[in-house]
Amino acid sequence: MEEKINDALKSALERAPERKFTESVELAFTLKDVDLKIPTNRVQEEIRLPHGRGKEIKIAMFAAGELATKAKKGDIHIIDPSTIEDLGGNKSSAKKLANKYDYFLSEVPHMGLVGRYLGVVLGPRGKMPRPVPPTVDPSMMAAGLKNTVVVRSRDKMTFHVAIGTRNQSEEQLMENVMTVYTRVTSKLERGIGNIRSLYIKTSMGPSIPVEVIN
């Protein structure tokens, strides 16, 4: 499979027209013979990419005091916890916030408040904040998240994940894509036997199929 994936990656990069922006490179899975109505069968994985995501990742944190000060040093945007209820009452502002940041962190005491007022917006996007204990440096957590992608099938047989960008080398992208492919197939009961099709593409380029034999 590695050779087939490599061939598809090369083709996707070669056939994608040059754009005025940096395109993402994506891997799309379509599953078969998996009952995704059963939550335990769904794919939901956080995967650390060996060469990162190839783009700036924005992280925000609900925090005040000492942890907020530490977070700022890690280039984390701070959201004042006193504004959580107001944000929850303004769905437009909440959606803008959810779309602006890739990940959210929160001091442990504010997790319940975030869930109550912003869970309806952050939850479906897979962006509920990760709790930060008082003894943990949030900048360390943020450093790891900047190289992390979240793969979520939900109840859909087809799902995709960005494995890097076109400004990364082919070798880097290949290591990233194999990391994601290996993790996803390891979570399926029959491994590659549960994959109907696999495609690689850039954001706006053609979808290149990977031959799946099982």
Report pLDDT digits (tens) over 17-43.
Answer: 888 888 999 999 999 999 999 999 999
Range of the domain at 68: 59-145
Handedness of CA 186, 188, 194, 195 (dihedral sign): negative
Residues 65 and 111 in one domain: yes
Contact 77, 59 (CB under 8 A): yes
Its pTM stands at 0.84
Looking at the DSSP bridge assignments, the partners of residue 30 are 158, 197
Residues 90 and 67 in one domain: yes
Residues 72 and 50 in one domain: no
Q: What's the CA gap between 97 and 111, in Å, rounded?
A: 16
Residues 83 and 140 in one domain: yes
Quote the pLDDT of residue 214: 64
Q: What's the whole-number mean pLDDT along residues 78-87?
A: 95
Structure tokens at 183: 């993790």
Residues 160 and 134 in one domain: no
Q: What's the whole-number mean pLDDT along residues 105-120?
A: 96
Q: What's the CA gap between 52 and 173, in Å, rounded?
A: 9
